[in-house]
Structure 1
Amino acid sequence: MYYLGIDLHKDESHVAVLDDDAEVVEEIRVANANLDEVAEEYAGAKAAIEATSNYYTVYDTLDEHLDVVVADPSQTKAIGYAEVKNDRLDAKLLAQLRRAGMIAESYVPPEELRERRALVRGRKRLVEKRTDFKNEVHAVLDKHGITYDW
């Protein structure tokens, strides 16, 4: 069995692969667009990624081949408290925690729910912009002493 720890970034990630004896098999930096190749190579392995802004897409890609969990960053305290922090060590620590079964998992909503949430968030932003625009119009009218009834 292999255990992958994946430290995600916007365009690329650092991947650490451990075996059953916690020995490092491979450490690589890979473009996020190519993570599917890593997942295929280690199909059936257990993997851990941290919840970041772009994790849904990566999760969906990895989940096709790996048993992947999303680590709750607020609960993965060991990474935050590490004296030396870098992508390589973060990925290795995620792999070690996954191997030990010590990952506090984040809930990953199904894709349909994610799409609905995105629509609701988008609508909320548009309503807020509309309100801001109305307030600006009212401020300009008030500044020039123009009265209105609405």
Structure 2
Amino acid sequence: MRHIVGMDIHRTFAEVMFWEEGRLRPAGRIDMTRSGLEGFGRLLTKEDEVVVEATGNSMAVVRVLSPFVARMIIANPLEVKAIAHAHVKTDKIDAGVLASLRAADFLPEVWLPDADTERRRRLVARRNQVVRHRTRIKNEVHAILHAHLIP
């Protein structure tokens, strides 16, 4: 049986909805911890597909759940929002919309990088953060020196 799992993920929890044979079934909330996700992953099968929206921690969720399922999908949140105009927005509805859009093959997906590409992206992003931080510190030092008429 084809299962599609929609997850509306947040910082501390995820709301989960299952799409099975054309029907949505709530599965409750899971903790957004490695152990919480792994415990949830053990309940899934290798035929299941899991859909999450692109957020700050979506790649971490993909890394943890990938070994348990057939496919992990990250949805483009801007395009999902444009497709699904919900007047009532709850976490359950958002998770259900993700699962339903995937079931209808109407889900705007985000490309998932392989492990090496993802590692390099994280490395480049961290370097950019360090360079910006260094620049900010230098500018603060220059401002202090300027304020005290020190060339």
The bucket for the TM-score relative to the shorter chain is 0.7 to 0.9
TM-score, normalised relative to structure 1: 0.86
Question: In the aligned structure 2, how far is the partner of 1:136 from the partner of 1:39?
Answer: 47
Q: Would the aligned equivalents of 1:4 and 1:47 in 2 still touch at CA under 8 Å?
A: yes
Secondary structure of 2:117 counterpart: helix
Paired residue for 2:89?
Answer: 85
Paired residue for 1:41?
Answer: 43
Note if 1:13 corresponds to 2:14: yes
Q: How does 1:45-124 map to 2 (within 5 A)?
A: 45-66=48-69, 67-76=71-80, 77-79=82-84, 81-124=85-128
With over 3 angstroms needed to count, the CA separation of the structure-2 counterparts of 1:138 and 1:99, relative to structure 1, is same
Post-superposition offset of 1:68: 1.8
Q: RMSD in angstroms over aligned alpha carbons?
A: 1.7
With over 3 angstroms needed to count, the CA separation of the structure-2 counterparts of 1:143 and 1:104, relative to structure 1, is same
Q: Would the aligned equivalents of 1:47 and 1:98 in 2 still touch at CA under 8 Å?
A: no
Aligned structure 1 segments of 4 or more residues deviating by more than 4 angstroms: none
Q: Would the aligned equivalents of 1:27 and 1:88 in 2 still touch at CA under 8 Å?
A: no
Moved more, 103-112 or 114-123: 114-123
Q: Would the aligned equivalents of 2:51 and 2:98 in 1 still touch at CA under 8 Å?
A: yes
Structure 2 unmatched runs, 5+: none
Structure 1 unmatched runs, 5+: none
Note if 1:125 corresponds to 2:99: no
Moved more, 54-63 or 123-132: 123-132
Question: In the aligned structure 2, how far is the partner of 1:75 from the partner of 1:145?
Answer: 53
Post-superposition offset of 1:107: 1.2
TM-score, normalised relative to structure 2: 0.86
Question: In the aligned structure 2, how far is the partner of 1:120 from the partner of 1:129?
Answer: 14
Which one has the largest radius of gyration? 1
